[in-house]
Chains A and B, each alone.
Chain A
Amino acid sequence: MRLIQDLSGIRTPNNLESNVILSAEHVSKWYISFKRRKTVALENVNFSIFKGEKVCIIGESGSGKSTLAKILCGLITPNSGEVRFEGKKLSELNKSEKKVFRMRVQYIPQCPDLALDPTWYLYDSLAEPLRIQKICSKQDEFERVKEVCERVGIGMDQLRRKPRNVSGGELQRVVIARAFILSPEIIIADEPTSMLDPSIQAKIVRTILDLQSESNIGIVFLTHDLELAKLVSEKMFVMLGGRIVESGYTRDILKTPLHPYTKSLLMGVPPKTEFKQNSPCGFYGECEIVSEVCCQYPPPESEVYGGRKVRCWRYA
């Protein structure tokens, strides 16, 4: 296995187990809704990210991307399974350790106007993480806010406004600045550009990538735009119906997709009109190659070659 990794030209020392900084092990999350119906958002998900790695998660809306992202940064507790940060279980951290964890893992939400308090000045929203962590004085605080604003490209005079007086692209940059202000080790960006124009999207993605390369932090990028995923990531996870159905290096997946869902995504096949739910495989009604076993048991995860995992009966 080591040999294959070497051949694929990927930075081998980084792929050692000890370099895993954040990981989710067999994480499941479900909600009990009306009439005790169980809605499964995530089912047995394994995810890991190395130090300084760029990872993206793609999948359609409702596939559980955002739930996974929120679980990874500790905003939601999973019903089963564990999230580990540098080997320590997240559920077993004490209060001060949790504070450190919150400083080192940051989250960029999808909708910036909902993530900022409408009655606060942007400066206060931006400086709040510093105040909570109590890591610097008032003067230092101003310096750090100024520095991070320069990096993301917002003027200091913009910060004297309230969210409603600022455009969507600028708000998004404020939210990004807030994520970067504590110089974290991992940034989890939940579709940061899906609501924005192409030119602003380019600007924001560039900003995130520049900051990433400057400080060598790990980044988890959630998106449904394949072109964007190709540009921003080294590793890719494809999600469908609460499971990770395919994972591996981005260029491998885009070159030779293995799972039928990934194939249909790359070829741009629209979803079929009639599809069966409640089948063990999330892609059952739409898959072209179906065998009997597909509708009976959920497909196992199988490793096809070094680091390339697929959840489909064809590769089991």
Chain B
Amino acid sequence: MHDSRALLEYNGIEVTFDMGGLKVNALRGIDLEVYRGEVLGIVGESGSGKTVLLQATLRLLPENAKVRGRIFYNGLNILNIKEREFKKILGRSFSIIPQGFGSLNPCIRNWVQISERPMEHFGKSKEEGYNMASDLLGKLGVKNPSKVAQIYRHQISGGTLQRVLVAMGTSAPSKILFVDEPTKGLDERMKRLVIELIKISRKNFESMIIVSHDLNFLKEVSDRICVLYCGDLVEVCYKREFFESPRHPYSQALLLSLPSRGLLPIPGESPSMVTPPSGCSFHPRCKHSTTVCESRRPLPFLIDGGMVRCHLYARD
């Protein structure tokens, strides 16, 4: 069952939100493996469930969410274990670069935010923590790091903030680094900076999972890409294949909507998660859609080390 190459393995993950009697399926059976030493990019439009997948792994979902399935980390199902054991794994093996500055506490000084994890889980003292935080900020290119470490999140500029977030994720060694939308709303040069920062910190981590809808950014940093659409994993493949010959019609359409590839919008509206389309969730917008697509949900089809969930390939 357990693949030795895989560091993290998702097995039939389903996430349901209970919204006062209304059940919303945010994820519908995700099977995914994160190999050792790779950077995995997760793409998808907003509301496709990419952040939910991340939150399900880190147990950050709200109360009304229900997770089914199994997540293996090093052969251990981390959905089954107790909160205390999970916290140990979370502290020592997982780290996250969160999205935007909403995740920084406005009442806590920057250095505490950065070295909270080493102090909590690696037995560092306060003084060591402070020194570490300012060292790390200096390494990431913050001017006057000891001052930035002492002030609060609202006193620093956007560029410094991004560095504080990266410092937060990389302050202690861990196995997997989760990165949530690192480039949202950033300008071109800041994006370059984030790419550089991620490349610098890559060697400290065994694997990385990056959630983003910025395809150009993922093209630079990731090894494999997986595409989520309406809670379904529709394609997993190597980066080169994804950008040169994507298989799933949604991936193809997504690439065509980039400004450098013609800025062609995908026809139709994004599906509602409350009432997802029958069969293949992409069929109302797909140009290859047939009657089979309407009635039956396609099964994952394995191709050259990748996966695609589309009837087009299953037929052959």
What residues of chain A have their CB less than 8 Å away from a CB belonging to chain B?
59-62, 167-169, 194-203, 205-206, 224-228, 230-231, 264-265, 268-274
Q: Which residue of A lies closest to B44 (CB)?
A: A197
* Inter-chain contact B193/A270, CB cutoff 8 Å: yes
A274, B138: Cα distance in complex, Å? 10
A270, B190: Cα distance in complex, Å? 7
* Inter-chain contact A60/B190, CB cutoff 8 Å: yes
Asked if A230 meets B189 with Cβ closer than 8 Å, knowing A197-B46, A274-B143, the reply is no
A198, B48: Cα distance in complex, Å? 14
* Inter-chain contact B270/A61, CB cutoff 8 Å: no
* Inter-chain contact A225/B259, CB cutoff 8 Å: yes
A226, B47: Cα distance in complex, Å? 27
* Inter-chain contact A62/B158, CB cutoff 8 Å: yes
* Inter-chain contact A268/B188, CB cutoff 8 Å: yes
* Inter-chain contact A224/B188, CB cutoff 8 Å: yes
Which residues of B are found within 8 Å of A205, using beta-carbon distances?
A: 259, 263
A225, B217: Cα distance in complex, Å? 12
Asked if A227 meets B258 with Cβ closer than 8 Å, knowing A195-B185, A197-B213, A270-B195, the reply is yes
Asked if A194 meets B193 with Cβ closer than 8 Å, knowing A225-B259, A274-B143, the reply is no
Instruction: Identify A168's interface contact among B46, B196, B253, CB under 8 A.
Output: B46
A193 to chain B minimum Cβ distance, whole angstroms, is 10
Asked if A62 meets B45 with Cβ closer than 8 Å, knowing A195-B185, A199-B254, A225-B188, the reply is no
A236, B213: Cα distance in complex, Å? 27
21 contacts between A and B (CB under 8 A): A61-B186, A61-B187, A62-B157, A62-B158, A167-B46, A168-B46, A194-B185, A196-B46, A197-B46, A198-B215, A198-B258, A199-B254, A199-B257, A206-B263, A226-B188, A227-B260, A228-B259, A264-B189, A265-B188, A270-B196, A271-B189
Main secondary structure of the interface of B (DSSP, over half): loop
Asked if A202 meets B196 with Cβ closer than 8 Å, knowing A167-B47, A265-B188, the reply is no
What residues of chain B have their CB less than 8 Å away from a CB belonging to chain A?
45-47, 140-141, 143, 157-159, 184-190, 192-193, 195-196, 213, 215, 253-254, 257-260, 263-266, 270
Which residues of B are found within 8 Å of A228, using beta-carbon distances?
A: 259, 263
A49 to chain B minimum Cβ distance, whole angstroms, is 22
Which residues of A are found within 8 Å of B259, using beta-carbon distances?
A: 201-202, 205, 225, 227-228, 230-231
Which residues of B are found within 8 Å of A202, using beta-carbon distances?
A: 257-259, 263-266
A202, B262: Cα distance in complex, Å? 9
B310 to chain A minimum Cβ distance, whole angstroms, is 18
Please indicate which of the listed interface residues B213, B259, B264 has the most CB atoms of chain A within 10 Å of its own CB.
B259
Which residues of A are found within 8 Å of B184, using beta-carbon distances?
A: 195
A199, B189: Cα distance in complex, Å? 23
Please indicate which of the listed interface residues A168, A265, A271 has the most CB atoms of chain B within 10 Å of its own CB.
A271
Which residues of A are found within 8 Å of B185, using beta-carbon distances?
A: 194-195
* Inter-chain contact B270/A271, CB cutoff 8 Å: no
A247, B46: Cα distance in complex, Å? 35
A232, B302: Cα distance in complex, Å? 40
A59, B193: Cα distance in complex, Å? 15
Instruction: Identify A61's interface contact among B190, B260, B263, CB under 8 A.
Output: B190
* Inter-chain contact A199/B263, CB cutoff 8 Å: no
A203, B257: Cα distance in complex, Å? 8
Which residues of A are found within 8 Å of B141, using beta-carbon distances?
A: 272-274
